[in-house]
Amino acid sequence: MTALLLRISRALPDELPAALWAFVYFFALLAGYYVLRPLRDEIAIQLGPDALHELFTSVFLSMLAIVPVFGWLTRRFERRQLLPWLYAFFIANLLGFYEVLALSGTQSPLVAKVFFVWVSVFNLFAISVFWSFMADLFSTAQAKRLVGFISAGGTAGALSGPVLTMLLVKPLGAKGLVLVSAALLLVCIGAIVKLRQWARQQGVTNSSGPSASPTQASHQDSEQPFHGSLWNGLLDVIRSPYLLGICAFLFCYSLLSTFLYFQQTALVPKSFSSSGDRTQLLAGVDLLVNTVTLLIQLLAFGTLIQRLGTRFLLVAMPLASLVGYATLAALPALAVLVTLGVVRRAGEYAISKPARETLFNVLSAEQKYRAKNVIDTLVHRTGDTSSAWIFNGLRGAGLTLTQISWLAVPISALWLGVAWILGGAAERRAQRDA
């Protein structure tokens, strides 16, 4: 069994415990999120496209308030202590939602909006912290071997979450699914504790030698609080063309994703009138996306990134978006939209995002949390919010969904160019550090 796990994970024997616990951590985290995601998307459909730009703005303002608090916490407390408490805080939030949903359900507009905003913030924040934690634990060389296996753990969780939602949404309702998500986050806390133990053991073992490797130094450094603040993270981004390139890449992705999400909220209600049916449809789409993602991660990602390099993986989704939006503009039907959504999301999770996460491995330990969390939370949500207002403005100006799809084609071409330039910069940095 050990030999099989070593082969599947591409881990060395001393790395295998960490690879397995990282797999479990990401599995539980994404399972917990994907239990909630169809509920969030059904709320978006209930509220309608006209309310979405306000919801996205609320998410952005929430991130503005939370990121400085997180920055203060990372300066105040050791990360090995902070991360379990962070997930305990999320669990406490979910228990609070259980009580509120038991009283009012999602039919209350205020409860629906708060729940939508919370799930959106939780998604970005918790997953960003996960990848920062992984960047702390593993060197660039280790990441290239292990990221496919670890990402597959998340995809397996993302497969399990929609299945749980499809099976339990009608018998348990929204409040029951909230408790299921909270239980999965408890598993995350256990995995974090195990990974911290592994990192300390590696540090103790390696400290007896004449010098520590970069990975070992990262283990030791990851136990310390950070210095700096949100503004330091913003300054890191502004001063670095490399980090600005990542921001441009992420903005193009957010803009095109928001266009597709808004079109989904307009087209799905025309085909399905029941809230339960829509929730099951959305969960089914999530299940298909994550099935395709898992197959790519397990069978292809490791080979693709080592043979083709980061640049080719970064340009894959912009190219797919260019073709997909042109098709949607020519054939504006729900089936085409769902197909494009599946291709884009599966490609993002299986190819684009893991490749994008390796871009941060060449940064210093503080930047992995400080600048990366600014990009993954504040910059990402700035992109979402501005994209929502752009879409709303285009609709207000009289553009149809078909015309907006045609507009997405040159944006996809711009994204393709950014990806090509950024991928080349990443490969040059990796060669320099090697």
Tell me the CB-side half-sphere exposure of residue 362, using CA atoms within 13 A.
Answer: 17
**DSSP state at residue 348:** I
The torsion angles phi and psi of 206, rounded to 5 degrees, stand at -80, -20
**pLDDT(424) > 60:** yes
Tell me the pLDDT tens digit for each residue of 198-238. Answer: 888 876 333 333 333 334 444 444 444 444 455 677 777 88
Least confident of 77-86, 123-132, 197-206, 281-290: 197-206
Pick 127 or 23 by higher pLDDT. 23
pLDDT score, position 84: 87
User: What number is the average pLDDT over the span 6-10?
Assistant: 76
Pick 91 or 39 by higher pLDDT. 91
**pLDDT(124) > 80:** no
Q: Which of 115-119, 130-134, 182-186, 247-251 has the highest mean pLDDT?
A: 182-186
What value does the CA radius of gyration of the chain take, rounded to a whole number of Å? 21
**pLDDT(69) > 70:** yes
**pLDDT(246) > 80:** yes
pLDDT score, position 203: 65
For the chain, how long is the longest CA-to-CA vector?
Answer: 69
374: which residues sit within 8 A by CB, 6+ positions away? Answer: 67, 230, 233, 234, 236, 237
381-411: b or e for each residue (b if 16 or more CB lie within 10 Å)? bbbbbbbbebbbebbeeeeebeebbeebbeb
**pLDDT(106) > 70:** no
Q: Is the pTM of this model over 0.95?
A: no
**pLDDT(94) > 50:** yes
Q: Identify whether the C-beta of residue 32 lies closer than 8 Å to the C-beta of residue 154.
A: no
pLDDT score, position 433: 65
**pLDDT(285) > 90:** no
- Tell me which amino acid residue 297 is: Q
- Tell me which amino acid residue 152 is: A
Q: Which of 17-26, 118-127, 173-182 has the highest mean pLDDT?
A: 17-26
User: Can you tell me the distance from the alpha carbon of 373 to that of 375, in angstroms, rounded to the nearest whole number?
Assistant: 5
> How confident is the prediction for the chain on average, in pLDDT?
79
pLDDT score, position 140: 67
61: which residues sit within 8 A by CB, 6+ positions away? Answer: none
Q: What Å distances lie between residue 407 and 163, 265, 337, 403, 418, CA to CA?
A: 35, 19, 15, 6, 18
User: Can you tell me the distance from the alpha carbon of 224 to that of 201, in angstroms, rounded to the nearest whole number?
Assistant: 16
User: Can you tell me the distance from the alpha carbon of 400 to that of 391, in angstroms, rounded to the nearest whole number?
Assistant: 11
pLDDT score, position 356: 82
Least confident of 37-51, 218-232, 302-316, 368-382: 218-232
Tokens of 310: 């980061």
**pLDDT(417) > 90:** yes
Helices (H) and strands (E) in the chain, counts: 17, 0
Tell me the pLDDT tens digit for each residue of 317-347. Answer: 999 999 999 998 888 888 888 889 888 888 8
DSSP 173-228: HHHHHHHHHHHHHHHHHHHHHHHHHHHHHHHHHHHTSSS--HHHHHHHHTTSPP-S
Tell me the pLDDT tens digit for each residue of 248-258. Answer: 998 898 889 88
pLDDT score, position 27: 94
User: What number is the average pLDDT over the span 366-391?
Assistant: 75
Tell me the pLDDT tens digit for each residue of 286-313. Answer: 788 878 877 877 777 667 766 777 788 8
CATH number of the domain enclosing 91: 1.20.1250.20
Tokens of 431: 């060669």
Tokens of 413: 């071409």
User: Can you tell me the distance from the alpha carbon of 40 to that of 316, in angstroms, rounded to the nearest whole number?
Assistant: 28
Pick 417 or 334 by higher pLDDT. 417
pLDDT score, position 204: 35
Dihedral angle, C-alpha 402, 404, 407, 413, nearest 10 °: -90
Number of structural domains the chain divides into? 1
User: Can you tell me the distance from the alpha carbon of 303 to that of 309, in angstroms, rounded to the nearest whole number?
Assistant: 9
292: which residues sit within 8 A by CB, 6+ positions away? Answer: 342, 346, 350
User: What number is the average pLDDT over the span 159-179?
Assistant: 84
**DSSP state at residue 105:** G
**pLDDT(90) > 50:** yes
Question: What percent of the chain stands above pLDDT 90?
Answer: 15
For 191, the domain range is 2-433
